[in-house]
Amino acid sequence: MFKHGADLEKIRRKYHFKGELVDFSSNINPFTPENTVINIIENIEELRKYPDIEYIDLRNSIAEHIMDHSQKSDFFFNQENICVGNGATELVYLFMKTINGKVGVVCPTFSEYRRAANIIGKKHVEIQMIHTEDGLEYPDFTKPEMEIYKDIEVLFICNPNNPDGKLRNIDKVVDFCQKNCIKLVVDETFIEFCENYQEYTALNYSYQNIYVLRAFTKFYGLPGIRLGYLVTKDSSCIEELFKLKEPWSVNSIAAYLGVDLLKDKKFCENSRKFYKEERNFLKKSLAEIPHLKVFDTDSAFMLVKIKDTLGLSARDLKKKLILDYGIVIRDASNFLGLNSKYFRIAVKRRKDNLLLIESLEKICKF
């Protein structure tokens, strides 16, 4: 079965919970651009049309957006460098169909990379991140022991990583992949929540075989729209993806709305400002609670470890927060490389963040 956040209906059934739930398990912007609903209503007739099977307007809009926000790149991106999909997850599965050899995944991370490899029957290897006092770090790919991974065909990494939200420099990862002719897929679906993300995006690198995943789902607060895209300098890959892709997987409303959303620069600026303030507030407040270790983050969520002094697992804490406070967190114990003491929380509005803080303070007093 699927193991992700945002499983509120399943939780209601499991715990027989009838009231309102505050969802800290899904990392979705609590805001959407101002005129989104109006735009959907005004263009509802788009549903009576098939979408453009090649999504030229949408892909051109994405290319323009990328060029505006890739300050270090000397490459001119256009629609031939972009494939769109029914969320970024569709593109993970689609890209996996182009792979013949072994798949590498840097863990702990989003589970669908490994699941996609398993479903298609691809051999894969998990490369564990390094646990430090401050959090998780990518393994140092310059070390001799990393040579055992030079036979993989493609490497999947997430930046900022899920579940910890930390944005990292990937110079050494890119160098390793380029040296060994390894394709590098970088999942950047949460990068636009981060300050100065233009300096960290994998689109800045000159290596031809980098494939960047992004999504409208999270940053624009529209998980139900299901719209994502893959960007690469390797235009032959885009051609191959479209040959494999099911037609019309992005619906007409999503395709139209995507073009409009990318025009709203003010929303992007305001969202990043909001997240900077609430990240700092939430992290500082949680760090003052006994029995909890809060890891640094740059994105829309953060990873927390329960110290042994509390005597609760993440599963126990999740159940208690649901039944006593109507709060849902993400039990992170099923992330490969983490254990039963880890949980993930989204950064939300101040009133919701205060509710979580107060609830955890009460629990941690016992």
pTM for the whole thing?
Answer: 0.94
Q: What is the pLDDT of residue 7?
A: 73
Compute the distance between CA of residue 279 and CA of residue 298 in angstroms, rounded to an integer. 8
Segment (H or E) for 91: helix 88-96
Report the candidate in 358, 360, 352, 242 with the shortest Cα–Cα distance to residue 293. Answer: 360
CA 197 to chain centre: 14
User: Quick one: the chain helix, strand, coil %, rounded to 5?
Assistant: 40, 15, 40
Compute the distance between CA of residue 160 and CA of residue 191 in angstroms, rounded to an integer. 6
pLDDT digit of tens for each residue in the chain (366 aa)?
Answer: 555 555 787 888 887 777 789 999 999 999 999 888 888 888 888 888 999 999 999 999 999 999 987 666 778 999 999 999 999 999 999 999 999 999 999 999 999 999 999 999 999 999 999 998 888 999 999 999 999 999 999 999 999 999 999 999 999 999 999 999 999 999 999 999 999 999 999 999 999 999 999 999 899 999 989 999 999 999 999 999 999 999 999 999 999 999 999 999 999 999 999 999 999 999 999 999 999 999 999 999 999 999 999 999 999 999 999 999 999 999 999 999 999 999 999 999 999 999 999 999 999 985
Q: What is the pLDDT of residue 133?
A: 84
Report the candidate in 205, 199, 152, 129 with the shortest Cα–Cα distance to residue 174. Answer: 205
Compute the distance between CA of residue 191 and CA of residue 195 in angstroms, rounded to an integer. 9
Q: What is the pLDDT of residue 210?
A: 98
